């Protein structure tokens, strides 16, 4: 039962992660990392599929092995954070009570991303 629940949640996380790739306000990475964690506990075959995926696999392997993010992915993440904040400001015109905390959260996320190392092999810089 637990395995089936993990597998169902993992598939849901992959779906949300794929949606997050095309929607700037929905992050894909946390969902894909959660999916990998859930697949590890429910389906070695699905875990291997995700780790060996031609697009999603390499960043997940880098994170699992070294807690590393390539420079290209860091740049994409930072652009996504900035675009999300710009979309918030443009679409809602929030007051300072909303815009400042959101800016703080996004800056904290950006700080985390920037301080992660690049993969040791340097092939994806």
More confident residue, 124 or 87: 87
Q: Which residue has the tokens 């954070």?
A: 81
Q: Do 97 and 84 belong to one domain?
A: yes
**Residue 84 — pLDDT band, cuts 50, 70, 90?**
confident
**Is the per-residue pLDDT at 112 higher than 90?**
yes
Assess contact for 26 and 20: CB atoms under 8 A.
yes
Instruction: Look at the chain and report how many structural domains it folds into.
Output: 2
- Tell me the C-alpha distance between 80 and 24, whole Å: 6
Range of the domain at 101: 71-115
Give the pTM: 0.80
Assess contact for 57 and 48: CB atoms under 8 A.
no
- Nearest CA to 69 out of 5, 119, 109 is that of 119
- Tell me the C-alpha distance between 99 and 118, whole Å: 31
What tens digit of pLDDT does each residue of 29-43 get? 889 999 999 999 999
Q: Do 51 and 75 belong to one domain?
A: no
């Amino acid at each position: 039962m637990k395995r089936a629940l993990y597998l169902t949640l993992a598939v849901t996380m992959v779906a949300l992660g794929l949606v997050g790739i095309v929607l700037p306000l929905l992050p894909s990475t946390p969902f894909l990392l959660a999916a990998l964690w859930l697949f590890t506990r429910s389906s070695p075959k699905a875990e291997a599929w995700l780790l060996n995926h031609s697009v999603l696999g390499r960043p997940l392997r880098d994170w699992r092995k070294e807690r590393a993010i390539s420079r290209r992915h860091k740049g994409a993440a930072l652009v996504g954070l900035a675009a999300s904040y710009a979309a918030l400001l443009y679409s809602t015109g929030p007051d300072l009570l909303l815009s400042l905390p959101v800016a703080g959260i996004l800056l904290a996320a950006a700080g985390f991303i920037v301080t992660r190392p690049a993969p040791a092999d340097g092939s994806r810089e």
